[in-house]
Structure 1
Amino acid sequence: LMMVEKKTVLIFNHSCYLLSERSGSWDAARMDCRNRGADLLVINSPEEQKFLSTITTEVWIGLNDKEQEGTWRWVDGTPQILMNWGRDQPDNGGEEDCVHLGGDKQKSWNDLWCSSSHQWICEKVS
């Protein structure tokens, strides 16, 4: 009997999004996306952020400040320009270097320990 991971696939503009069904660390999430020929989600516009706010789960996105504290970069190397931080975020609550979409209605960004366990979204740009 083969276990098949249930997947949710969404399309928006020129991107295909895959919502994971399992949870894991930010690094595990990124590895999973890259194994699929994609990468963790990069949010490029307010429209994309709004579209993503329809997803009910808290998920990892491809934003982190692992290289330099306070310098947030997307996994594709672009600097973070669009801001959607939640209130009093990022707060680096003890070395929080990875970002997830929070549980509020707007899916505001929140920095977390990269070892925290969350679902994630992979993005493949067509």
Structure 2
Amino acid sequence: MWIGLSDSETEGTWKWVDGTPMNISYWSSGEPNGVPDREEDCGEILDLNTEKNWNDDSCNRKRSWICEKT
């Protein structure tokens, strides 16, 4: 599922959808890898059973979203 994290503005500079910079991360080993042909500019959670479970993928892929509520 998408977690509201993107580097679409500047490759390699990850920000949350509200514009705040990412200051802690849980990337899976080898991620983010930014496969060039796929424009992997959005962050997702791959596995809820491991702590380091983030992956970068194309924002065009259909995924569920996690939203923050106040």
TM-score by length of 1: 0.50
1:59-70 correspondence to structure 2 within 5 Å: 59-70=1-12
- The runs of 4+ residues in structure 1 deviating greater than 6 Å are none
Compare CA radii of gyration and give the structure with the larger one.
Answer: 1
- TM-score, structure 2 normalization: 0.86
1:73 aligns with 2:15: yes
**CA positional deviation for 1:120:** 1.2
TM-align CA RMSD: 1.3
> Residue 102 in 1 paired to residue 56 in 2?
no
Query: Mind listing any 5+ residue stretches in structure 1 that lack a counterpart?
Result: 1-58
Gaps of 5+ in 2: none
Do structure 1's residue 113 and structure 2's residue 58 form an aligned pair? Answer: yes
Q: Larger % of helix: which?
A: 1
Equivalent runs, 1:24-63 vs 2, <5 Å: 59-63=1-5
Aligned residues: 67
